[in-house]
Amino acid sequence: MVFPGLLEIPLTVALLMLRPRARPGWPVVLALALNLARFGLTAASHIRFRGQLGANGMAPGSLESLMSADHLTQGFSIARAVLYLWMMSLVVGAGDPVGSPAGGAAVDRRAGA
């Protein structure tokens, strides 16, 4: 699951640059920060676990610390998923095409308008 997570980082940066103009950038920046925090925490916990594994062997305390760090990383992933769904609901609910020339404003397509 490392490659999809790493691929998400440049795609989130692209989303930040190509988002509809009427939508704020802070949710995308927050999603990027949550993803980077997840990778930082994962790397730190795995480095610490490998150090404990080499020094003490397979100790229950080291495995528990790895599992508690995994719970935090899953929390970051769930928060990102909720954030992406919320952002998508804003775009779909407004009917805004990405990069619309109207600055993201909804277009009235009724016959008399």
pLDDT digits (tens, 9 = 90+) for 57-102: 777 777 787 788 888 889 999 999 999 899 888 878 766 555 554 4
Judge whether 36 lies within some domain.
yes
Above pLDDT 70, what percent of the chain? 81
The 3-class SS string of 62-104 reads: HHHHHHHHHHHHHHHHHHHHHHHHHHHHHHHHHCCCCCCCCCC
Q: What's the pLDDT score for residue 2?
A: 72
- Confirm whether 86 is domain-assigned: yes
How far from 29 is each of 26, 39, 51, 66, CA to CA, in Å? Answer: 5, 15, 33, 27
Using CA atoms, how far apart are residues 59 and 39, in angstroms rounded to an integer?
24
Sequence letter at residue 23: R
Q: Which residues contact 29 (CB under 8 A, 6 or more apart)?
A: 16
Q: Domains in the chain: how many in total?
A: 1
Is 98 inside any structural domain?
Answer: no
pLDDT value, residue 108: 53
The pLDDT of 46-64, averaged and rounded, is 77
Structural domain span for residue 35: 2-16+24-93
Residue 30 has pLDDT above 50, yes or no: yes
What's the pLDDT at 49?
Answer: 81
Confidence at residue 100, expressed as pLDDT on a 0 to 100 scale: 52
Model pTM? Answer: 0.69
Do the domain assignments include residue 101? no
